[in-house]
Structure 1
């Protein structure tokens, strides 16, 4: 998947982009809009970004779960190997400690992530804070991405392309 980023100054422009994307064959679920205040975006019946897209909750939660599982596996393995209470512990201790630490890590990562801005959007926050709107369009194929770029160049010169990501994923 490829994600295209555009910045425009007015909500009317965003609404026109949404209509033109629909005509081009890109449904509204493929366009996300980030504004300083999401209220006007929602009232305009546009697809405003969610907390999952604005913050690092997915990325940090995933990393927290990954490192938590690794730590839990090491702790569980150490407990089984050391026999801390003088008797052999079952391998289920490894499974339990891995699952517990994975969940705990995901929780901690989520807490950190919800308080951090999405690193994918970092270059565009200044424009958003200045009152502009960031329009993100997800294209499944290169052909679809070229259609979007062509439509934006022809019909929406007021919106400037500020970037794109190939192979976009919230987990990286």
Structure 2
């Protein structure tokens, strides 16, 4: 599955493309749209994008889990060594596993709190246009249908900017690129 991004200039074009995508056998939950006038989208029957599609919340949660578990393990070892006499009834393995679970859950929670405030890489890129009334459509398509969907939309709506997230954009957005 890959995600195509369509930057559309107005509501009518957005609704037309949503109907075309439906005609191309894409389900409503594969098309997510964000824009300043989201109520108009809802009235036209177009699926509004959620925080999951417009922010970095999912990637942030994964990073929180990735760093939370090892930190929980380390804290568990430190707690066992420091509090050795006070923890007579708790086994070493139980303490380590408990702290790993706690670290993972705490990592997910704290990271998602931050991730909710960070825009998705393309939402961030097109933020100015969205504020000026454009709409950003995020369309999840099977990899083997990507060219078909791209061609159909570009043929009927040459004014629409069609984009994908590049590896460089992703690395830059995650703070690992230039």
TM-score normalized with structure 1 length: 0.86
CA distance in structure 1 between the aligned counterparts of 2:135 and 2:48, rounded to whole angstroms:
10
The list of structure 1 runs, each at least 4 consecutive aligned residues, that deviate by more than 3 angstroms after superposition, is none
In structure 2, the gaps of 5 or more residues are none
Choose from 115, 118, 121 the match for 1:119: 121
In structure 1, the gaps of 5 or more residues are none
CA RMSD of aligned residues (A): 2.2
Change (3 A) 1:29 1:36: same
What is aligned with 1:129? 131
CA distance in structure 1 between the aligned counterparts of 2:105 and 2:7, rounded to whole angstroms:
38
Q: Deviations over 1:123-166 (max 9, x none)?
A: 12121111100112111123x111111111221123222x1137
Q: Deviations over 1:99-131 (max 9, x none)?
A: 112111111111111122223432121211111
CA distance in structure 2 between the aligned counterparts of 1:67 and 1:40, rounded to whole angstroms:
41
Choose from 100, 103, 107 the match for 2:102: 100
TM-score normalized with structure 2 length: 0.83
1:59-74 pair list within 5 angstroms:
59-74=59-74
CA distance in structure 1 between the aligned counterparts of 2:75 and 2:122, rounded to whole angstroms:
34
Indicate conservation of the 8 Å contact 2:73/2:96, yes or no: yes
Aligned residue pairs, count:
166
What is aligned with 2:30? 30
